[in-house]
Amino acid sequence: MGLVVQKYGGSSVADAEGIKRVARRIVDAKKAGHEVVVVVSAMGDTTDELIELAEQVSPLPAGREFDMLLTAGERISMALLAMAIKSLGHEAQSFTGSQAGVITDSVHNKARIIDVTPGRIRTALDEGNIAIVAGFQGVSQSSKDITTLGRGGSDTTAVALAAALKAEVCEIYTDVDGVFTADPRVVKKARKIDWIAYEDMLELASSGSKVLLDRCVEYARRYNIPIHVRSSFSGLPGTIVSNDNPNKPEGGEMEQAIISGVAHDTSEAKVTVVGVPDKPGEAARIFRAIADAEVNIDMVVQNVSAASTGLTDISFTLPKTEGQKAIDALGRVKEGIGYESLRYDDAIGKISLVGAGMRSNPGVTATFFEALSAAGVNIELISTSEIRISVVTRADDVPEAVRAVHSAFGLDSESDEAVVYGGTGR
Amino acid sequence: MGLVVQKYGGSSVADAEGIKRVARRIVDAKKAGHEVVVVVSAMGDTTDELIELAEQVSPLPAGREFDMLLTAGERISMALLAMAIKSLGHEAQSFTGSQAGVITDSVHNKARIIDVTPGRIRTALDEGNIAIVAGFQGVSQSSKDITTLGRGGSDTTAVALAAALKAEVCEIYTDVDGVFTADPRVVKKARKIDWIAYEDMLELASSGSKVLLDRCVEYARRYNIPIHVRSSFSGLPGTIVSNDNPNKPEGGEMEQAIISGVAHDTSEAKVTVVGVPDKPGEAARIFRAIADAEVNIDMVVQNVSAASTGLTDISFTLPKTEGQKAIDALGRVKEGIGYESLRYDDAIGKISLVGAGMRSNPGVTATFFEALSAAGVNIELISTSEIRISVVTRADDVPEAVRAVHSAFGLDSESDEAVVYGGTGR
């Protein structure tokens, strides 16, 4: 039996009862013979409450102090969890990100891990303890200040510790049963995926699936750490994310397209730069302006230019929250670039089909568009990768479009309704 | 203008408004040209709420984890306070006890400071920052684990930092105007004391005055750090605790008794060991048994033995919360010592008169007992020191006894009512 890293999200430790339930699960893993390292998030709404307090005392809280504040949340949950485990008769010690050796850069509020030196964790395990580690936090290498890792930070802490400690698996406990072929709130017949490759999970994550964030999957892929996404409420096996399907059937299948699932995202907006002179360097100037404003963009589409005018349109999508910044940045370079106008549209949605072998199976693309057409969904933008097709539609069309595609690819489950515990977000 | 350490208690930073009010006061000190180090407690009832959570998950929370949990409280208040200061346009950085160099022993929940190495605080000050430090916490020298300092810990943090940084004064901000000649809730005519010597303050603190704890005063005396106890709600000067009265009148007074105040305490119980053989070593065996049970005792009184029996009674007082432990410990050694019986009484109160020059002024003792007698208060135990007389009475008699003594020593103020802001406890 090897070392297991388990991560529990805020909804799993929302109150004293939740903490005790999680403690029993951890002790079960220890009794089964594993060395156990647990990464825990702040309880329930603690982080939101701390953010609200910060807004009450300061309109623009300073990054260093904001991180100091937020890390109080995990400190509370990890200490309580260690106490609960000890009251079950097992030894446990809690560690802050800094004590656990999570070394980051100095970018407050969204620091990136640059090293993990888990000497104290290793010692605690060697002495027979269960080690409880605060998720979402670290300490900056240069200034020794406390940092937080930003969205999905606790999952990343778990995977990073699993890599540094050479764990056999990183279990991410959440309030759903695993990764589904589509959002069960939208597609009643969505099925739980038993296994998915890192690459497919990455595409699902970046296409709107919220169960795992791409950052954590990317880290796991780099260090080849299997992730097991599962429910902390049920005892069922969840979804394994790894390189190789442990239950791969003998032979066959290798050249077939394996559809993993359908993701959707209605958090983005679309910007179209209309009437851009179709000559080298124009796109570069547009996206340099966007990059200088520190706006992250997603899809980028340029149509062929109309021969009569020599002008083209460039569209891209980005988080709605970044829309204003992008419009302002492009407005400042209008004269330099010489485009005609900007169009901003935040009533859009994105539907993505993800699966291996898609490009070499032309039937996949055809089936995808046929399904959308039959559902009466109009397509505004198209973008593809090796293992993904994404389209942008009206936001209102998204639920119907997702159900149509899910059904067309035979992903619907036999049963009428997906078995999901609790909510589906985190 | 030198360096000032300011300490704010939980009632001063109970909510966002309180934090902003405290921030303005800190900035005022900075604007006046001081280097400012601030020690802050957890907001309002945070610590009690965390203790309640701990009790929900574990009947006997482990010390190490309990400390990890409780220190989240100051982390929240210090980060918010730093943010609030920064939003007023001044630079501030917050530091945990560990970051501030508060080094302690390893006794969780009531660690003692063994060293202070405030290198990061000194650097922050040199760079023009206001330094905000979490009170009540440190890091153990041997295990590098987070510790808490127990009752009055934040005051002790403030004085210890003041000593290490060679501050000119340590200001303890609280919700009363300073140290009073008696508890203003009991004595309406109690007066605020402008100056009091360390020794007198120590006696008042150990006799039931709750404004400062003896531990913090002891530390200040050892390093000769003046303490200024004052209200964070009013702008008034409070009480200076130091070696020398800065406003001492020329000549005179030196041989007169200077009465500082009247303290009372109803948190103690009295244990009487009845019928102890009056021979060497018996008292030692009694108090060794008490010490082995880790019970702290206060007054100890032994009467002369009755010649006819050769037996004596030994009485002592101790916190009510320790009563059961003491009774159990004495029960276990009954046969060895051979006493007759134990009497336990928790309906007692203690009244103490504190002041310099008391012993060499016999009139003080006489006036004290006359005042109690005139008020019809019966005395059960008497104990004296160089600068204090304490008596134990029925708990019900305490308010009347305190008023009688206060009045007899001319401590009553001219005005009808003491000016006190907020409550009087902490």
Q: What is the pLDDT of residue B305?
A: 67
Q: Is A419 on the interface with B (CB under 8 A)?
A: no
Three-state DSSP at A51 gives helix
Given a cut of 50, is residue B280 above it in pLDDT?
A: yes
Q: Report the candidate in A69, A68, A63 with the shortest Cα–Cα distance to residue A51.
A: A69
How sure is the predictor about B413, in pLDDT bands with cuts at 50, 70 and 90? confident
pTM value is 0.79
Q: What is the pLDDT of residue A406?
A: 95
Mean pLDDT score of chain B: 89
CB spacing of B56 vs A93 below 8 angstroms: no
Q: Name the range with the highest mean pLDDT among A285-294, B188-197, B271-280.
A: B188-197
How sure is the predictor about A426, in pLDDT bands with cuts at 50, 70 and 90? very low
- Binding site for ATP, residues of A? 7-10, 174-175, 185, 210-211
Q: What is the dihedral of CA B185, B188, B192, B198, to 10 degrees?
A: -60
Q: What is the pLDDT of residue B127?
A: 96
Helix (H) or strand (E) holding B35: strand B35-40
How sure is the predictor about B300, in pLDDT bands with cuts at 50, 70 and 90? confident
Q: What is the pLDDT of residue B248?
A: 63
Q: How far is B63 from chain A (nearest CA, A)?
A: 9
Domain positions in chain A:
3-175
Q: Is B80 on the interface with A (CB under 8 A)?
A: yes
Exposed e or buried b for every residue in B134-161, given b needs 16+ CB within 10 A?
bbbbbbbeeeebbbbbbebbbbbbbbbb
CB spacing of B99 vs A75 below 8 angstroms: no
- Angle at which helix B214-223 crosses helix B153-164, to 10 degrees, equals 10
Q: Is B375 on the interface with A (CB under 8 A)?
A: no
Stretch B276-301: mean pLDDT: 83
Q: What is the pLDDT of residue A296?
A: 80
Stretch A278-284: mean pLDDT: 79
Query: Are the C-beta atoms of residues B355 and B296 closer than 8 Å to each other?
Result: no
Stretch A57-77: mean pLDDT: 92
Mean pLDDT score of chain A: 89
Q: Report the candidate in B66, B60, B58 with the shortest Cα–Cα distance to residue A85.
A: B58
How sure is the predictor about B139, in pLDDT bands with cuts at 50, 70 and 90? very high
Q: Which of B23, B53, B62 sits opposite A16 (nearest CB)?
A: B53
Three-state DSSP at A100 gives coil
A23 to chain B: closest CA residue: B57
How sure is the predictor about A151, in pLDDT bands with cuts at 50, 70 and 90? confident
- Most distant CA atoms of chain B, gap in Å: 80
Q: Is B117 on the interface with A (CB under 8 A)?
A: no
B62 compared with A42, residue with greater pLDDT? A42
pLDDT, one tens digit per residue, over B11-59 is 999 999 999 999 999 999 999 999 999 999 999 999 999 999 999 998 8
Q: What gap in Å lies between CA B343 and CA B274, rounded to an integer?
A: 7
Q: What is the pLDDT of residue B365?
A: 83
Q: What gap in Å lies between CA B34 and CA B348, rounded to an integer?
A: 47
At B296, list the tokens: 């702290």
Q: Which of B52, B55, B75 to mutate to test the interface with A (most CBs of A within 10 A)?
A: B75
Given a cut of 50, is residue A105 above it in pLDDT?
A: yes
The dihedral region occupied by A269, where left means phi > 0, alpha psi between -120 and 50, and beta the remainder, is: beta
Q: What is the pLDDT of residue B266?
A: 94
Q: Is B124 on the interface with A (CB under 8 A)?
A: no
DSSP per residue, B151-162: TTHHHHHHHHHH
CA geometry: angle at B181 spanning B179 and B183, to 5°?
A: 80
CATH topology of domain B3-174: Carbamate kinase (3.40.1160)
Q: Which of A59, A69, A144 sits opposite B80 (nearest CB)?
A: A69
With beta carbons under 8 A apart, name residues in chain A contacting B92: 65
Q: What is the pLDDT of residue B423?
A: 31
Stretch A414-422: mean pLDDT: 48
Return the sign of the alpha-carbon dihedral for residues A63, A65, A68, A71: negative
Residue with tokens 């959002």: A183
Q: How far is A117 from chain B (nearest CA, A)?
A: 16
State yes or no: B211 annotated in a binding site.
yes
* Least confidently predicted of A111-125, B75-89, B201-215: B201-215
Sheet containing B113-116, strands listed edge to edge, beginning at the edge strand earlier in sequence: B113-116, B102-104, B137-140, B146-148
Q: Which of A19, A54, A71 sits opposite B75 (nearest CB)?
A: A71
CB pairs under 8 A between A and B: 114
Q: Which of A19, A40, A55, A65 to mutate to test the interface with B (most CBs of B within 10 A)?
A: A65
Q: What gap in Å lies between CA B176 and CA A407, rounded to an integer?
A: 71
Helix (H) or strand (E) holding B391: strand B388-394
Q: What is the pLDDT of residue A425?
A: 30
Query: Are the C-beta atoms of residues A43 and A13 closer than 8 Å to each other?
Result: yes
* Least confidently predicted of B59-63, B116-120, B357-361, B414-418: B414-418
Q: Name the range with the highest mean pLDDT among B9-23, B51-65, B231-245, B307-321.
A: B9-23
CA B256 to chain centre: 27
Sheet containing A35-40, strands listed edge to edge, beginning at the edge strand earlier in sequence: A92-95, A130-134, A35-40, A3-8, A169-174, A227-231, A239-242, A195-197
Q: What gap in Å lies between CA B209 and CA B95, rounded to an integer?
A: 31
Stretch A209-232: mean pLDDT: 91
How sure is the predictor about A255, in pLDDT bands with cuts at 50, 70 and 90? low
- With a CB cutoff of 8 Å and minimum separation 6, the contacts of B408 are B367, B368, B370, B371
DSSP state of B322: G
Q: What is the pLDDT of residue B255?
A: 56
B196 compared with A309, residue with greater pLDDT? B196
CA A336 to chain centre: 37
Sheet containing A348-356, strands listed edge to edge, beginning at the edge strand earlier in sequence: A258-265, A348-356, A388-394, A381-385
At A405, list the tokens: 């595609």
Given a cut of 90, is residue A291 above it in pLDDT?
A: no
Q: What is the pLDDT of residue B101?
A: 96
CB spacing of B72 vs A75 below 8 angstroms: yes
Return the sign of the alpha-carbon dihedral for residues A130, A134, A136, A139: negative
Residue with tokens 């027979």: A128
Percent of chain A scoring above 70 in pLDDT: 93
- With a CB cutoff of 8 Å and minimum separation 6, the contacts of A376 are A400
Q: Report the candidate in A133, A128, A93 with the shortest Cα–Cα distance to residue A117.
A: A133
Provide the chain B residues 143-162 that lie in CB contact (below 8 A) with chain A. 144
CA B415 to chain centre: 28
* Least confidently predicted of A85-99, B56-70, B235-249: B235-249
Given a cut of 90, is residue A366 above it in pLDDT?
A: no
Given a cut of 70, is residue B421 above it in pLDDT?
A: no
CATH topology of domain A3-175: Carbamate kinase (3.40.1160)
Q: What gap in Å lies between CA A72 and CA B46, rounded to an integer?
A: 12
B19 to chain A: closest CA residue: A57
CB spacing of A57 vs B86 below 8 angstroms: no
Q: What is the pLDDT of residue A193?
A: 93
Q: What is the pLDDT of residue B357?
A: 72
How sure is the predictor about B416, in pLDDT bands with cuts at 50, 70 and 90? low
Q: What is the pLDDT of residue B426?
A: 29
Q: Which of A75, A108, A132 to mutate to test the interface with B (most CBs of B within 10 A)?
A: A75
Given a cut of 60, is residue A345 above it in pLDDT?
A: yes
How sure is the predictor about A328, in pLDDT bands with cuts at 50, 70 and 90? very high
Q: What gap in Å lies between CA B320 and CA A353, rounded to an integer?
A: 70
CB spacing of A71 vs B71 below 8 angstroms: no
Q: What gap in Å lies between CA A244 and CA B31, rounded to an integer?
A: 64
DSSP state of A125: H
pLDDT, one tens digit per residue, over A18-30 is 999 999 999 999 9
- Thinking of the domain B253-426, which architecture would CATH place it in? 2-Layer Sandwich (3.30)
Percent of chain A scoring above 90 in pLDDT: 63
CB spacing of B62 vs A23 below 8 angstroms: no
Q: Report the candidate in A395, A177, A206 with the shortest Cα–Cα distance to residue A297.
A: A206
Pairing mode of beta strands A239-242, A195-197: parallel
